[in-house]
Structure 1
Amino acid sequence: MLLPQNKLRILIVDDSISIRSVLRALLHNDEFDVVGELASGSKLITAVTKLKPHIICLDYNLPDTDGLSLLGQIHAKYPHVAVIMITGSNNQELEHAAAEAGTAGFIYKPFSQEQILDVLQKVAHAQRLLMIAARKHNPFADKAYHATAVVADDSQTLRRLLMAILGHMGVRVVGEAYDGKQAIELVSAHTPDIVCLDFEMPVMDGLEALKIIRDQNPLTKAVMITAAASRETFNRAANTGARGYIICKKSQGCLQRG
């Protein structure tokens, strides 16, 4: 198994040779290893089987198929591979559909070096923490959980990480949502002890969802998830009814405060 300090393997899928060249150049460093490039999706599953990437940068518009169809195929066969969608559109419907299908994040064209590295490092850090969690014994594996939770984040990779962390704390995740509206529905259906809400999600963000959850399920304690650890962010969450927050930073992992 890959050790946390080793490079993460990345596969780039984009029909533009210039886009592939830019991504390859930016990701040629001590953290990532670009193990392959594809200009279409026809041989993607075969390439994933052979190259065993940890992360795939996948263009939404490919000449032979669309990225959403490929995303579904990848997760059906390789659910632990993180897929980052590359798109030139800010279409909210696409973003929602991709989050529902299980994307780990988005790279928007035209992209900057800062944007690419921010998205990749965030996903990469979550992947590494998941590897660590997989090797650790869960003390609640053969014991009864003492609380339940719903986790809401538009990144499947971050949802998986939060679920692993909560599981090791004795909290059973009874539902996972990719937007605020779905989070409200899951909390209503399961009445969990805790709901973890990302600040930024498609359709409805975490604060909007929290307002409704607080009114409909006042006994459910809300924990907000954010990468922007500002006092203004915390005050907004507290004033809306949050009982705590989790800061997910690429350099520090996920830190909980309450």
Structure 2
Amino acid sequence: MRVVIADDHQLMLDGVRRALEADGGFEIVGETQDGRNVLSLVAKTSPDLVLLDIRMPHMDGLACLDQVHARYPDVKVVMLSASTTSDLVETALKRGATAYISKSVNPDDLPSTLRQAIEGNVYSVGVGELEPAANKAAGLTDRETAILTALARGLSNDDIAKELWVTQQTVKFHLTNIYRKLGVRNRTEAVRLAYQRGLVESPLYNPD
């Protein structure tokens, strides 16, 4: 996946590049710290994905988003920002952003998070205000919700790890947190409670 990164902090650019390159499934084809350069970079490099910070000099991320979305509608744009107020996130999504990810995301999870966003499985990560009400009430994160949904589909830990591009150890870690937050002991109880509380939709099998 060809990626352009725009962020006003060089350390952030370096960190994102390292995380994506270490994954092996991404090619960084352009970087900039100036919003004015985003559109020309997209024109020159034909990326599949543009990662935009909200606050950049000369042209902010929302303005860049508008231009990329208008001129290159097939290019996915994901906002990667420390600003996670609900109004800002909702504005970005309404204006065409594929997803909005908080900079607090674990760098190791960034590649899989981006894949999930591009596939339309997540719209916000690290932004509690936009989590579904039931999931928010249960204290579940976007990643935990994705894993709980996969459980409800009957997937094994290995299948979940492959689908979400994470290790089985990461899946087990999230499952432990899910069980604790839901007050259950195992995956069957977790799925049953998830259906009862509306944490997942359209059950594909009966957890009993």
With structure 1 as the length reference, what TM-score do the two structures score?
0.51
Q: Which amino acid aligns with 2:13?
A: R
Q: Given residue 82 of structure 2, which amino acid in structure 1 is its aligned partner?
A: G
Report whether the alignment pairs 1:17 with 2:10. yes
Aligned positions of 1:183-198 closer than 5 A: none
2-structure distance, mates of 1:60, 1:72: 12
Structure with a larger share of its residues in strand? 1
- For residues 22 and 71 of structure 1, do their structure 2 counterparts lie closer, same or farther at Cα, with a shift above 3 Å needed? same
Please show how residues 63-212 of structure 1 align to structure 2 within 5 Å.
63-124=57-118, 126=119, 155=123, 205=132
Shift of 1:59: 0.6
User: Do the aligned partners of residues 113 and 243 (structure 1) sit closer, same or farther apart at CA in structure 2, a change above 3 Å counting?
Assistant: closer
Cα–Cα, structure 1 residues 123 and 240, in superposed 2: closer, same or farther, change >3 Å?
A: closer
Counterpart residue identity of residue 33, structure 2: A
Structure 1 residue 40 corresponds to structure 2 residue 30: no
Instruction: Find the aligned partners of 1:242 and 1:104 in 2 and give their Cα distance.
Output: 22
**What is the Cα deviation at residue 227 of structure 1?**
1.6
- Unaligned 5+ segments in structure 2 are 136-144, 152-186
Are the counterparts in 2 of residues 96 and 202 from structure 1 also a CA contact under 8 Å?
no
* Cα deviation code 1:12-68 (max 9, x no counterpart): 001111111111111114200000101111121121111011111101100112211
Counterpart AA for 2:132: D
Identity %: 25
Aligned pair in 2 of structure 1 residues 239, 90: CA closer, same or farther (>3 Å)?
Answer: closer
Which AA in structure 2 matches 1:15? D
Rounded to whole Å, the distance in 1 between the matches of 2:104 and 2:133 is 27
* Cα drift, residue 112 of structure 1: 2.4
* Secondary structure in 2 matching 1:43: helix
- The verdict on how the C-alpha distance between 1:237 and 1:103 changes in structure 2, with shifts beyond 3 A counting, is farther
- Listed as ranges, the gaps of 5+ residues in structure 1 are 1-7, 128-152, 156-177, 179-199, 209-225, 246-256
Residue 121 of structure 1: CA displacement? 2.8
Matched residue of 1:46: which SS? helix
Cα deviation, residue 242, structure 1? 7.4
Aligned mate of 2:146, from 200, 214, 227: 227
1:123 CA drift (Å): 3.2
Count how many residue pairs are aligned between Structure 1 and Structure 2.
154
CA separation in 2, counterparts of 1:35 and 1:100? 27
Report the Cα distance in structure 1 between the residues aligned to 2:201 and 2:88, rounded to whole angstroms: 32
User: TM-score, length-normalised on structure 2?
Assistant: 0.62
SS in 1 for 2:29: strand
- Structure 1 residues 201, 96: CA separation in 2 closer, same or farther (over 3 Å shift)? farther
| Residue 49 (1) aligns with residue 43 (2) | yes
Task: Give the secondary structure class of the aligned counterpart of 2:35.
Answer: coil
C-alpha change, 1:233 and 1:45, in structure 2 (3 Å) is farther
Distance 2:2 2:36 in 1: 20
Give structure 1 regions of 4+ aligned residues with deviation exceeding 4 angstroms: 200-204, 238-243
